[in-house]
Structure 1
Amino acid sequence: MTATIGYRLDLPYERPPLTANQRMHWRPKAEITKNVRHTAATLSRDAKVPALGRCAVRLVWTVTDRRRRDADNLVPTLKACADGLVDAGVVTDDIPELMTKHMPEIERGDALGLVLIVEPLAQEATT
């Protein structure tokens, strides 16, 4: 696999399950976070994403209308997905040296959906 090819994980959500604007009690939020994390881990295992050492991740939300939305609102969902990739062994931690998290993207399309894209990055040389 080359660094330009990635893995597409189609998340089973039409809308981001976690957003920065949500105001909810910690317990239901923790359950949603746990579910998103587990889902990302399961999908990465099912897609046979190998241990990459280093990777970049992008979260893309496809919407069907032209309403204005803030991409940074999706960061909590991206964070839970990144933790799921760690749980699945794609990387050992989601620290910046091992995982580059790109700002979430919102694009217009024919059907609502969330996609997590995982791209391998070259290993840094050690001295």
Structure 2
Amino acid sequence: MPETETHTATIKLPWSSPPLSMNDSGATRGAVFAKAGKITEIRLIMIGLARKAKLPKGVERATITLHYRPRDNRARDSINLAPTVKAIVDGLTPQKVVKTKKGFNVHPGYGFVVDDNTRHVSTPETIIHPAERGKPGALWLEITWEA
């Protein structure tokens, strides 16, 4: 049986705070479209970051952990970052074309992992680090996989 090697990558994200939160309201039609646009934007950014990091494609299993260092030490709930994690992971899966009543929707993706279900991706709880005096907020990913 061939040996597997564990690989890791750290990807710095371009946001100083999470772009999506469970606390975002979205009751209006306009808010729903705005959120969909933000999700697409996150996916496209992740494609570019995955290319820059030279991540492989078609990985069978990966662990993707979001880290967040806020600008201040107010109390935060890590579960509120779930929509950000979801959009990031979706950007690392293969592109999907979905048929709708009005045509087709293209969901962009890089193809790092073969799918985003729990057989292929583990997303542990987001790690919220203490703020660092004089530093802005920051987000980054720690990704591990075997090849």
| Alignment match, 2:103 | none
| Alignment match, 2:25 | 23
Unpaired runs of 5+ residues, structure 2, are 94-108
Q: Which of 1 and 2 has greater Rg?
A: 2
| Alignment match, 1:114 | 139
CA RMSD, 1 decimal: 1.5
Local SS of the residue matching 1:93: coil
Q: Deviations over 1:27-86 (max 9, x none)?
A: 000011111111112101110011222100001111232210000000100000000110
Q: Percent identity?
A: 31
Alignment length (residue pairs):
121
Structure with the higher fraction of residues in strand conformation = 2
Displaced runs of 4+ in structure 1, greater than 2 A?
none
Local SS of the residue matching 2:129: strand
Which of 48, 63, 80 pairs up with 1:73? Answer: 80
Which of 2, 6, 9 pairs up with 2:5? Answer: 2
Local SS of the residue matching 1:37: helix
Which of 69, 92, 114 pairs up with 1:92? Answer: 114
Local SS of the residue matching 1:118: strand
**TM-score normalised to the size of structure 1?**
0.88
Q: Deviations over 1:93-119 (max 9, x none)?
A: 101000111111110143311102211
Query: How far did 1:121 drift?
Result: 4.0
Q: What amino acid is the match of 2:18?
A: P
Cα distance in 1 for partners of 2:146, 2:56 equals: 12
| Alignment match, 1:125 | none
Unpaired runs of 5+ residues, structure 1, are 123-127
